[in-house]
Amino acid sequence: MEPRLGDRRADDDQTRQESRPDPSATHDDAESRAFREHLEKARRLVALELDLAETRRRVAEANLQITEAQLELAEQQIEELKAENERLRREIEDLQDERRSS
C-alpha cells in the first residue's frame, strides 16, 4: 500500500530526528573551532615573539659593532692627540732652548 499525503510513518519521525543537528555536537564543534582558533593565535604569538627576539639580538649585535667602532675611533683620536701633544711639547722645548741661547 502506498502512503497517502498526510499519512505518518514511524520511520518519518526517526528520519526527522536524525536530520536535526545534535545540540551537543554543535557545541563540541564550536568548542573545537574556538580551541583551534586559540591554538592558531598562540602559534602566531609565539612566532612573533621569536621574530622579536631575533630582531632584538640583531639590534644588540649592531649596537655592539657601533660601540666597538666608536671605541676604535676614540683610541685613534687619543693616539693622534698624543702625537700632536708630543709635537707641541718638542716645539715648546725648541723655543725655550732658542730663548736661552739668545
**CB within 8 Å of 3: residues ≥ 6 apart:** 9
The reply to whether the predicted model has a pTM over 0.85 is no
The region of weakest confidence among 1-15, 40-54, 56-70 is 1-15
Backbone angles phi, psi at 4, to 5 degrees: -100, 160
The pLDDT tens digits for 38-59 are 999 999 999 999 999 999 999 9
**Domain-wise residue ranges, the chain:** 25-101
